[in-house]
Amino acid sequence: MALATSLIPGLDELVRGDDPERRAEAARRISDLFLDGASRFKPEHVEFFDGILIGLVPRTELNVRAGIAERLAVVANAPRNLVGQLAREDEIVIAGPLLRSSPVIDEKVLVEIAREKGQEHLLAMAERPTLSTGLTDVIVRRGDREVVRRTAGNAGAAFSTAGYSVLIDRAGHDGVLMLAVGQRDDLSDDNLKELLAGSIDAVRRRLLEAARPARRAAIKRVMGDISGLMLPVEGRRNFEPAQRMILALHEAGNLDENALIEFAKAHKYEESIAALSAMSGVKIATLDRLIAGDRYDPILIISRMIGLEWATVQALILLRLGPNRVPSQADIEGARVNFARLMPSTAERVVNFWKARQAA
């Protein structure tokens, strides 16, 4: 091991000094030396290199640290302290490769990083070959939509009871996540039933089509256990009382956006659909079928066509989900941006197409 110090004369001076170029060169050469012999080194040799590199690498330029991190990420006996420090870096180009692949980062360190760092770090961890329940508990609680989707789609991830509860809750307003969770082999029938009960028909059908044959049988069985799951929406709802109420409001001159938003905020679905029908000229059955689908676009289109404000549109989106399901802030913001971009003329053409179809 004296070879390291013979290759880098004045090593102690380099570690303590302020010459970035010499320090970077030393870090590269000692890293190369370690990587060339890593497969043959004993634990005490690795510890020796760890002690040297931990004093050099963290004080080098970003590109040097990134290159070393990339190479160490696939080494089974990489220097543990150095890897742990690099994995905690804010720069994802350095931390990312290690968080995705390094086998020497223990669960305690991963959980600490998951609790402290941002979405890029969580996304990198979501791609690890295996994820413990302790780690996924933190990831699904803190992660944004893309992080949680990636974690749910990781076959090597394990989820606790609490973790699955969070996943199922979030899948209630994320069709992509619902498909990922529904196809997991470790999802129990009880969890599958809860997942399907909180989703809409179109997403259930997509899950059934996408599932592997072995999984499809369980999905069919659970769908059959859910009372009324496959009934069409029109068969479950009676719009006649709502129509009479809306007609009375119209005749009294009180059918306006204020009345509609109050219906939506109170989660009065039939009254809201009947009001939208009267205000737009689109039949109740058509609106009911469109709004009960797996996208909120019809709400944006009909709202833009009749000139509703964003507050009312948001209330209608929440109404569509139901009183016990809350969309993510990212979904709401995406809907707001799409609504702002939607031209009234475009919305009117789409609504006219709906009317032509219902007439045919």
As a whole number of angstroms, the distance between CA 278 and CA 9 comes to 86
Q: Would you say residue 276 has pLDDT above 70?
A: yes
- CA distances (Å), 357 to each of 291, 302, 342, in order? 16, 15, 22
As a whole number of angstroms, the distance between CA 319 and CA 333 comes to 17
As a whole number of angstroms, the distance between CA 32 and CA 241 comes to 78
> How far does CA 252 lie from the centroid of its chain?
47
Mean pLDDT of 323-327: 68
29-54 burial code (b ≥16 CB/10 A, e <16):
ebbebbeeebeeeeeeebebbbebbb
- Written as six digits, the tokens of 196 are 């399907």
Q: Would you say residue 325 has pLDDT above 80?
A: no
Q: Would you say residue 302 has pLDDT above 80?
A: yes
Which residue has better confidence, 292 or 163?
163
The whole-number pLDDT of residue 5 equals 46
Greatest mean pLDDT range, 170-174, 255-259, 282-286? 255-259
The whole-number pLDDT of residue 295 equals 75
Put residue 308 in one of left, alpha, beta given phi > 0 → left and psi -120 to 50 → alpha.
beta
For CA atoms 122, 126, 131, 137, the dihedral sign is positive
Q: Would you say residue 129 has pLDDT above 90?
A: yes
Q: How confident is the model at residue 2 (pLDDT cuts 50, 70, 90)?
A: very low
Mean pLDDT of 343-355: 86
Domain ranges of the chain: 1-103, 235-359
Tell me the backbone φ, ψ of residue 74, rounded to 5 degrees: -105, 10
- CA distances (Å), 10 to each of 4, 22, 28, in order? 11, 11, 15
- CA distances (Å), 107 to each of 24, 103, 157, 297, in order? 30, 10, 13, 42
As a whole number of angstroms, the distance between CA 321 and CA 173 comes to 7
Which residue has better confidence, 161 or 9?
161
Greatest mean pLDDT range, 9-18, 95-104, 215-224, 279-288? 95-104
Mean pLDDT of 263-292: 89
Q: Would you say residue 253 has pLDDT above 80?
A: yes
Find the length of the chain: 360
Q: Would you say residue 230 has pLDDT above 70?
A: no
The whole-number pLDDT of residue 131 equals 97
Mean pLDDT of 126-155: 96
Q: How confident is the model at residue 93 (pLDDT cuts 50, 70, 90)?
A: very high
Put residue 154 in one of left, alpha, beta given phi > 0 → left and psi -120 to 50 → alpha.
beta
Sequence-distant (6+) residues with CB within 8 A of 261 are 311, 312, 315
Q: Would you say residue 228 has pLDDT above 50?
A: no
- Written as six digits, the tokens of 172 are 């209630």
Lowest mean pLDDT among 67-81, 91-105, 247-261: 247-261
Q: Calculate what percentage of the chain has a pLDDT beyond 70.
A: 87
Q: Would you say residue 144 has pLDDT above 90?
A: yes
pLDDT digits (tens, 9 = 90+) for 174-219: 888 988 999 898 988 888 888 887 666 666 777 888 888 877 888 8
- Residue pair 160/185 in contact by the 8 Å Cβ criterion: no
As a whole number of angstroms, the distance between CA 107 and CA 99 comes to 11
- CA distances (Å), 167 to each of 133, 197, 309, in order? 13, 14, 32
Mean pLDDT of 8-20: 56
The whole-number pLDDT of residue 355 equals 80
Which residue has better confidence, 322 or 225?
322
Count the Cβ atoms, other than its own, within 10 Å of residue 125. Answer: 30
Map residue 157 onto helix, strand or coil: strand
Q: Would you say residue 310 has pLDDT above 70?
A: yes
Greatest mean pLDDT range, 143-152, 187-196, 234-243? 143-152
Mean pLDDT of 15-44: 83
- Residue pair 187/181 in contact by the 8 Å Cβ criterion: yes
As a whole number of angstroms, the distance between CA 50 and CA 34 comes to 9
- Residue pair 181/167 in contact by the 8 Å Cβ criterion: yes
Sequence-distant (6+) residues with CB within 8 A of 147 are 119, 122, 123, 126, 139
The whole-number pLDDT of residue 149 equals 95
Mean pLDDT of 255-267: 92
The whole-number pLDDT of residue 300 equals 92
pTM of the model: 0.60
